[in-house]
Amino acid sequence: MRKILALSAIMVALLSCTPTEKLKYTINTAESKDSYYNNRSEKTIQPYDYLYIKIYSLDEQTNAIFESEDRYGQQNIQLLSYEVNERGYIDFPFIGDIMLADLTIDEAKDKLEKELNKYLTNISVRVRFVGNKVTVLGEVRHPGNHTFFDEKITIFQALGLAGDIADFGDKTNITLVREVNNQVSYSYLNLTEKNIAASDYYYLIPNDILIVNPVKAKYRSMQDRSAFVLVISVVTSAATIWLGILNYNLNAGK
């Protein structure tokens, strides 16, 4: 009976174990450093981006024309945005098509002010990206699309939006799917390595897809319930047989 119980405990332990190095971020190793350089290039406007454009003016009539934000509020800021079409243009009121592809936000601001100054005076323009999204899937607490308003975010910030990696997520096995110029690429990242900070994939860009793969222990844990039921069944059967034998021997002794 004791041998059966010991064997059962060993079976459950083997099914449940997970290497701790797969559960930690940025582990210190002999090769790792405490400082890494990453050239954070500025994002440029691309087709299918959404831009929030706000016009400010000292003239009240001009402000009245572009007062949509005051009427709708910040929560509907995406409804007030301009989509960059497949050719890199936005369709702006009173002006028409304006090419903004491959410009930075500051360059787009300057270009819009220059175009608007042909028709209006004393104006200032504010431009920002809106509706930027990354998709985080797999072993995270809140999988799905997550919106951010910066040009780009770090891979750790994206995981933070998704509620962090769940218990069975493998930090050594992260898949990043990225589409650039109609070409889809797959990259495989290890977040336990500190040099991820110097990687080209440390900063995510809009529409990146991050997939957190599970550790093998998840597949084992899916069998745990069946294994546990089996173990309990074996122990129960063995105990029943043992008690039956014991009872028989006691009766035989009488």
pLDDT in tens, the chain (254 residues): 555 555 555 555 554 555 556 555 656 665 666 665 656 677 889 888 889 888 888 777 776 666 654 444 444 555 568 999 999 999 988 789 999 999 999 999 999 999 988 887 788 899 988 878 899 999 999 999 998 877 789 999 999 999 999 988 999 999 999 988 789 999 999 999 989 999 989 999 888 999 999 987 655 555 555 666 667 776 777 777 767 777 766 776 65
Please provide residue 62's backbone torsions phi and psi, each rounded to the nearest 5 degrees.
-65, -45
Range of the domain at 136: 20-42+132-214
58, 122: one domain = yes
Q: Domain boundary residue among 77, 102, 130?
A: 130
pLDDT for the residue numbered 71: 47
Residues 82, 71: Cα–Cα separation, whole Å = 17
63, 26: one domain = no
Pairing assessment for the beta strands 153-154 and 203-204 based on DSSP bridges: antiparallel
pLDDT for the residue numbered 20: 58
Q: Domain boundary residue among 67, 97, 130?
A: 130
Q: Domain boundary residue among 107, 130, 153?
A: 130
Residues in CB range of 82: below 8 A, 6 or more apart: 50, 51, 52, 53, 90, 91, 92
107, 143: one domain = no
147, 93: one domain = no
User: Which amino acid, 108?
Assistant: A
Strand ranges (E), the chain = 50-57, 82-83, 89-92, 96-99, 123-130, 132-138, 144-148, 153-154, 169-180, 183-189, 203-204, 209-214
State how far the alpha carbon of 42 is from the alpha carbons of 91, 107, 176, 224, 249, in Å: 24, 11, 20, 48, 84
Looking up residue 116, the CATH number of its domain turns out to be: 3.30.1950.10
State how far the alpha carbon of 34 is from the alpha carbons of 24, 28, 88, 193, 215, in Å: 16, 9, 41, 11, 27
Structure tokens at 133: 């999204």
**What are the DSSP calls for 15-84, one per residue?**
HH---GGGS-SSB--SS--S------PPP---TT-EEEEEEEESSHHHHHHT-HHHHH-GGGGGGG-EE-
150, 201: one domain = yes
90, 125: one domain = yes
pLDDT for the residue numbered 224: 55
pLDDT for the residue numbered 73: 47
144, 195: one domain = yes
148, 208: one domain = yes
Number of domains the chain is built from? 3
Looking up residue 139, the CATH number of its domain turns out to be: 3.10.560.10
Residues 131, 51: Cα–Cα separation, whole Å = 8
99, 110: one domain = yes
pLDDT for the residue numbered 156: 96
Q: Is the distance from CB of 39 to CB of 251 less than 8 angstroms?
A: no
24, 9: one domain = no
152, 178: one domain = yes
30, 68: one domain = no
